[in-house]
Structure 1
Amino acid sequence: MDWGDAPAWAAIVVSLVAIWVSYLARRDGKRSANAAEASVTEAKRSADAAETSVGEARRSGDAAERSAVAAEETLADQRREADERRAAEEEANRPRAQLRIEHRDEALFEIVNVGTGPAANVRCQDVPEDVNNLPEVFSLEPGESQKFWVFGGWADEHVSLLKMVWDGQEDVVRVRVPPRN
């Protein structure tokens, strides 16, 4: 070997070292590029998942809003039903007049208020001829009575009912007249 070839040999060694360093750098660069590509892929996957999550959150929010609206409507329905039930109970428990006719003696009868409320301005409609001494308008508190007479025949010819109305009861109430004993 000639010492003049030493720089050539040194160049070969430096070249080999440069190739080796280049190879290592390339390998690290490729690894880094692969890692960057994987990171980009993962970031895209994460962004897609976030977008999906936002969509699901939006749908969940919409569903929660619909559920809240339905709950409000249900609550309003329940309150309305409770108010209607309370009003019906109050109406059912409201004092009411209830008229009944009782036979007392011979031709003497009484209209009696057997209800829990007063019957104000009681009127008898289409008063039969046989009924006498019955005022055109009268009022009865609970337990009070109004006497009247029924003259005429017996049995089938007897007055069988009176048609009555009073304040708060504008529909005609047919009150049965009991037979004479």
Structure 2
Amino acid sequence: MDWGDAPAWAAFVLSGAALIVAIKARGDGRRSADAAEISAGAAVDAVAEARRSSDASERSATVAEATLELQRQEVAARQAAEAEAARPAPRLNVEHVDRDLYRLKNDGTGAAMNIVFEEEDLPRIFRLKNTGEVSLQGGEAIDFLMAGAMGAPIPPQLFARWDGQDDFVPLRVPPVQRQPRRR
């Protein structure tokens, strides 16, 4: 061997070492590229999962808002019903007093103003105006006469309405309690 070939051999050894380093670097690069590709895939999956989670959160928030609105409506309806129940309201009743004498009585806590009877009941009712002038406060009563005839007996109910009550309300007329005649 010639000493002149020593630099060539050194270059050959160095190139072999460089080849080994390049092969190793190539393997590391490939692993790094594979890891980057896996990481990119995981990032895409994470973005898709984040979208699904965001959509689910929006749906959940929408449902929560709807539920809250429904609860608010229920509370408002309950409060309105409680206020209506607490509001003074009239409750009219008809009582039989004696023979043809009856009593229209307001057993409620509120006033029944301008009481009007249905037109077909009027021929049987006496001493009780139908001009809207009859008004009863809570606990008040007014006596009136009501008589039946062969063709038109005393009805089982009268129909009345008053201020705040748009429809006619049936008022049950109690049957006449006939007392035995004294001899």
Residue number in structure 1 paired with 2:147: 151
Q: Distance in 2 between matches of 1:128 and 1:24?
A: 125
Query: TM-score, normalising length from structure 2?
Result: 0.84
- Structure 1 residue 90: Cα displacement: 2.1
Provide structure 1 residue ranges, at least 5 long, that are not aligned to the other structure.
1-7
Matched, 1:112 2:113: no
Q: Distance in 2 between matches of 1:32 and 1:179?
A: 113
Note closer, same or farther for the CA distance 1:14–1:69 as it changes in structure 2 (3 Å cut). same
Q: Could you report, residue by residue, the CA deviation over 1:114-164 in whole angstroms, capped at 9, with x for unpaired residues?
A: 11211010011123433211122210011101110123459x933432211
Amino acid at match of 1:74: T
Residue number in structure 1 paired with 2:95: 102
Structure 2 residue aligned with 1:59, among 33, 52, 61?
Answer: 52
- Structure 1 residue 15: Cα displacement: 3.1
Q: State the Cα RMSD in Å.
A: 2.1
Q: Distance in 1 between matches of 2:67 and 2:114?
A: 45
Q: Could you report, residue by residue, the CA deviation over 1:27-75 in whole angstroms, capped at 9, with x for unpaired residues?
A: 0111112112221221222122112212221221122122112211111
Q: Distance in 2 between matches of 1:113 and 1:102?
A: 11
Structure 2 residue aligned with 1:26, among 19, 23, 26?
Answer: 19
Q: Which runs of 4+ in 1 moved over 4 A?
A: none
Q: Distance in 2 between matches of 1:143 and 1:14?
A: 130
Q: Distance in 2 between matches of 1:152 and 1:33?
A: 118
Amino acid at match of 2:142: Q
Q: Distance in 2 between matches of 1:49 and 1:103?
A: 89
- Structure 1 residue 99: Cα displacement: 0.7
Q: Distance in 2 between matches of 1:161 and 1:46?
A: 87
